Amino acid sequence: MPLSPTFSEKSFGDLPGWDEDDHLAAFAAFKRSAFHVLAKPYRTGSLGVDFNAFAGAYTEARSVSPASRSAARSFFERHFVPALVAAENGGGGLVTGFY
């Protein structure tokens, strides 16, 4: 039987390197994904994710172009919640992200 992950909400300040990351470059990649899903939508529930949860972020991303890293950072902080993901048995695992 597969193990279920547990999620613990964290703050962006808990993410190592968050203050130094290039949020403008990350936003550009996310915006490309926001247009990609118009042509080829993700299946809701694939990969265990309800892709409708991204709808607001995708809609905004298609219509804005942040002028600074701090504006791009604010975008991510408005639309996402960082979480610590752990296996229910306390073991390690691998989590990948995409955008």
Polymer length of the chain: 99
Whether 85 and 5 have beta carbons less than 8 Å apart is answered as yes
Q: 3-class SS at 61?
A: helix
Residue 12: pLDDT band with limits 50, 70, 90: very high
Residue 41: pLDDT band with limits 50, 70, 90: confident
pTM of the model: 0.79
Q: Across all residues in the chain, what is the average pLDDT?
A: 84
User: What whole-number distance in Å separates Cα of residue 92 and Cα of residue 49?
Assistant: 20
Task: Give the residue with greater pLDDT, 73 vs 43.
Answer: 73
Q: Which of 4-8, 17-21, 40-44 has the lowest mean pLDDT?
A: 40-44
Alpha-carbon separation of residue 5 from 20, 53, 86, 89 (angstroms): 29, 19, 5, 9
Q: What is the pLDDT of residue 5?
A: 77
pLDDT at 45 over 80: no
pLDDT at 46 over 60: no
CATH class of this structure's domain 5-87: mainly beta
Q: Where are the domains of the chain?
A: 5-87
Residue 1: pLDDT band with limits 50, 70, 90: very low
Average pLDDT over residues 45-56: 73
